[in-house]
Every structure is written in C-alpha cells, then in structure tokens.
Amino acid sequence: MKKTLCIVLATLVILVSVPVPVMAADSTAPGQKAVLITGASTGLGRVMAELLAANGHFVYAGARKDKDIAELSAIENIQGIRLDVTVQEEIDAAVKTITEAGRGLYGLVNNAGVGVLYPLIEIDEKEFNFQMDVNLYGPYRVTRAFAPLIIASKGRIVTTGSISGILSGPLFGPYSMSKHAMEAFTDSLAAEMARFDVKVSIIEPGNYESKIGENIANRLKAQNFTTEGSLYKEDLDRMMGWITDDNPSGDPLEVAEAARKALFDENPQRRYMVVPNQRQADITIGKAIEELAQLNQNQKYSFSRDELVKMLDEALIANP
C-alpha cells in the first residue's frame, strides 16, 4: 500500500535561523510578561520565542525532544518545556510547571503544526487523523488547559494559521481543512473570551524562507514514497519537483513581529495576514472576494454591486 505523504513541519515550514533584532520595549507590557509558545523548537515558533525573549518577555518554549528543550533553555528569558500537543499528560504537566513557577501566563501562542499533503480521495485515514490531531485538536486541548491562567491575567491567545486557511487546491485539502478550522476557532473563541477581557488573534502567514525542500525530501525518502498508482500522479510529480527546488522566500521575522503585535498591542487585530510578496496577497484576498461573490450568487436575498461596495467601505472603516 502506498505510503501517505506526511510532512511534519511547524506551520508547513522549517525555517532557517535568522538574527533577531531587539525592538523597542512594549509600552503596554510593563514588567516581564510570560508567554507560552507551542512548537517552538524550530520554524516560526523558534523565531517568535527568540524575538519575544530578546525584547524582555519570559517565554515558555514548547518542544518534544530533550535536545531542543536544552537548547531553548540556554537562551536568556526562555525556558524549554516538554509539550506535545497530542499528549494530554504533557499538556497537564506543562500547566502544573507554569502554575508553580508563579509568573502567571499572559500569552498563549498555538503554533505547533504539521502538514499532510495528499489527494483527499486517496489519503489514508490514519494520516488524515494525524493532521487533525495536531492542527485542530492540538490548539483546542492547549487552549482549554491554559484558559484559567490566561483569564486570570486578562491576557492574549494567538494561533498560527495560514493563508491556506483561505486558499486551497490539489493535494492541500487535509492541511487547508485544518487551517480553515482555525478561522472558526478564532472567531468563536474571541466572542467567548471577550467577557473576560481576553483578546484573541490569528496569524496567517504565506510562504517564508525555509529548508522546506531538504526536509520534505528527507522525510519522503524515509517513507519510501512513490507516486505510482495514484490518480493524481502528475500533480504529485509536480509537487516532488517543487519541494526539491531551492526557493527561498520572505523573512520569518515578519511573522514573529505580527505575533508580538497580537500579544502586546493595545488594540490587536483579529487577523494578521503576513505574506512575502504581492502575488500571495493578491490570490488570498482575491479568494476571499470570490467566495463573497459565490455566497451572493442567485440567492433570494442577494445584494447589488452598490450595496456590496457600501458594505466593504463600512468594513474598511471598522478595520482601518
């Protein structure tokens, strides 16, 4: 039976190490505030942890391997903490550790994520479940467990989504489904936490500088992956060519800075789309507009073009 393509990456990319500049101190964050970041051993989570720590915040950096925990703990203002978002016992232990430390917890960043790319009608159910266990149930488990600490501090909850939560296409179904779910998660959670003065945001990155080709190729080799026998062989072959190309993109610090703003700006945005080029902005916003047009198409209560433009203008005023 053909092995399912399973790409385990933090929010689909394993990012290269980059220098982390120290920003101006957060005017809304007197003293040292504690933040937990899941999936902080590599990728966006690692860059976020280093940025926040460099700016004087205390970071609990979630990781699964002893080596990564030790490396994180060696950085000033960072404490590596064992945290697999699929293991409830580790989540409970992390709650205990952070509670007993006595700092409280101001911020939670649900960053841990994996990517599974495969045609929806061919993907093995075990691998589909793996995708959802990490990207969907993971934020749910962690948020529920740490909610009392966040409520006590009137803090912030931030989730790393993706523009794939708006877009999708061949092979991206499982991953996009998991990230689209985070859109609903964010909106519902924001409404429910508002009564406790807790603010909720989602960061939606595009493609950022990474070693994605090398990491995916190594994993595929370990899985003895083959495209033979698939109804989508041409799509899979193109993807195989794409992942082996050296195609660096934007600076991941842009994404980490969006997370910093979501955590510490006085009036954070609900959504932060962070993309490295105009094309990714065009296709993402274009897809949202296309969906609006489809919802409005040939239904009993359709809006005219002028009415839609007026609604858009009002939304832009409300979200400057």
Report the distance separating Cα 269 and Cα 48, nearest Å.
Answer: 18
Q: Is the dihedral of CA 223, 228, 232, 237 positive or negative?
A: positive
Annotated catalytic residue 118 = no
* Furthest C-alpha separation in the chain: 61
Strands 107-110 and 34-37: parallel
For residue 275, report the phi and psi dihedrals to the nearest 5 degrees: -125, 155
Tokens in use for 224? Answer: 């003895």
Report the distance separating Cα 290 and Cα 167, nearest Å.
Answer: 11
Active-site position among 175, 208, 232, 272? 175
User: What amino acid positions are annotated as catalytic residues?
Assistant: 175
